Amino acid sequence: YNPYLEVKDGELYLEGVSLKSLAQEFGTPLYVYSASYIRDRIKAYKEAFSGALICYAVKANFNPEVIRVAGEEGAGADIVSGGELLAALKGGIDPAKIVYAGVGKTVPELELAVEKEILMFNVESRDELYVLDEIAGRLGKKARIAIRVNPDVDPKTHPYISTGMKKSKFGVNFETAKEEYRLARELKNLEIVGIHCHIGSQLLDVSPYREAVEKVVGLYRELTEEGFEIRYLDIGGGLGIKYKPEDRGPSPHELAKEVLPLLEGVEAQLILEPGRSITGNAGLLISQVQFLKDKEIKHFIIVDAGMNDLVRPAIYDAYHHVVPVESKGREHIIADIVGPICETGDFLARDRRIEWLERGDYIAVLSAGAYGFAMASHYNVRPRPAEVLIENGSYRLIRKRESYEYILNTI
């Protein structure tokens, strides 16, 4: 999962730091991230796609300290909201490396991004073109845009995270995209600079990228012939990662092998927007066993992390590998590992073979660095977890555990 995750004498260490000691010092549930892993992943993308701009998809993990680590390796940011813009800026990302997608950008969000002069707006509808043009004009700026096209490719992943199919709400229809480009050309406060697409997330097979990029390159050629100056080809994110022990997340290099041959003669700079493949396996969630319950048909291991802390199993039926933080060499059982929340969907793992645990033991839920904390909520008035970053041989808190006062403060 992560080359910096090791077992020594039955105990788990991340970048040499004992996870048990972190749990004891900061309490649980606790998100822990490895900076070296994030750095390695950005480097791997930069090596595979030399000359490309890697815009880390902040939605995967928006902690500004995590963004800073990616930025220090040269990454820009892919954002989908005003809040993410502020997170990226706080993480030290240069606005000239920020791209902004999203089907429902609001006027204040667009104004903020226009004022900051971000690299490019990935526009998703005709209405948005008009609104952005009006805002840019009013603020005396030019907004650089790409149009997000929907290449109608099946990414063969979970339907909730397939975004590039015709029936989905994202982007503009591929067949009629040229009309939007022609329209945008008439809007004098917009400058057309790119083409954008994103087909989905957690792609374990890179072949759907080929179809999408072929289409986008076809559009690039047609637009160039019509005199458009396309400087950026943004092919989105979506590379899958290892969740199950038998999975193998494709490397940026494999993606490059699929995509780069299609770009012959293309002069535009390539942009990628990886999120999960940067931070997913950089992080894990530590939780403590509260109770054990033997029911007639099942064992339940009840832990202190619930669907409010990590919602992926509940909403996508996602698999996250779970291991004891400290193995005591006990026998294995098949159990459901569940949280304290009042819903049957509140589980971290089902019918999972795991070492027999006792009250007070800690577990680590792996591959939780992306769409983990980022999707956490206060459901059941539960404070969101603390986050710790391990970097350069030491560790520090990068987000405090929330207090009840904070959640209950309603004015």
The stretch among 129-137, 183-191, 232-240, 387-395 that binds ligand LLP (CB under 6 A) is 232-240
Contact mark string toward ligand LLP, 147..166, x via CB under 6 A: --------------x-x---
- Which residue among 127, 297, 342, 344 is the active-site one? 342
Minimum distance, C-beta of residue 143 to ligand LLP, in the bound complex (Å): 18
Q: How far is the CB of 238 from ligand LLP (least distance, A)?
A: 4
125 forms part of the interface with ligand LLP (CB under 6 A) = no
Q: List, as one string, the DSSP characters of 112-130.
A: HHHHHT-SEEEE-SHHHHH
Residues in region 45-64 near ligand LLP by CB under 6 A: 57, 59-60
Stretch that binds ligand LLP, among 133-141, 177-185, 235-243, 263-271 (CB under 6 A): 235-243
- b/e map of 366-384 (b: 16 or more CB within 10 Å)? bbbbbbbbbbbeeeeebbb
Task: Report angle CA 16, 22, 26 to the nearest 5 degrees.
Answer: 155
CA Rg value for the chain: 22
Of positions 151, 237, 249, 313, contacts ligand LLP by CB under 6 A: 237
273 marked as binding residue: yes
Question: CA separation (Å) from 302 to 18, 143, 313?
Answer: 23, 51, 15
- Distance, in Å, from the CA atom of 65 to the CA atom of 398, rounded to the nearest integer, reads 7
Joined tokens for residue 150:
């929907």
Query: How far lies 29's CA from each of 23, 38, 246, 250, in Å?
Result: 8, 22, 27, 30
47 labeled part of a ligand binding site: no
Q: How many CB atoms sit inside 10 A of residue 83's CB?
A: 13
- State yes or no: residue 201 binds ligand LLP (CB under 6 A): yes
Q: CA 13, CA 332: separation in Å to the nearest integer? A: 22
Please give the residues from 267 up to 306 whose contact with ligand LLP meets the rule CB under 6 A. 273-277
The closest alpha carbon to 27, from 360, 326, 313, belongs to 360
Residue 197 catalytic?
no
Site mask for ligand LLP (CB under 6 A), range 368-407, x = bound: --xx------------------------------------
Pick out the residues of the known binding site for substrate: 276, 312, 316, 343, 371
What does the binding site for ligand LLP look like in residue numbers (CB under 6 A)? 57, 59-60, 78, 101, 161, 163, 198, 201-202, 236-239, 273-277, 312, 316, 370-371
Q: Which residues are catalytic?
A: 342
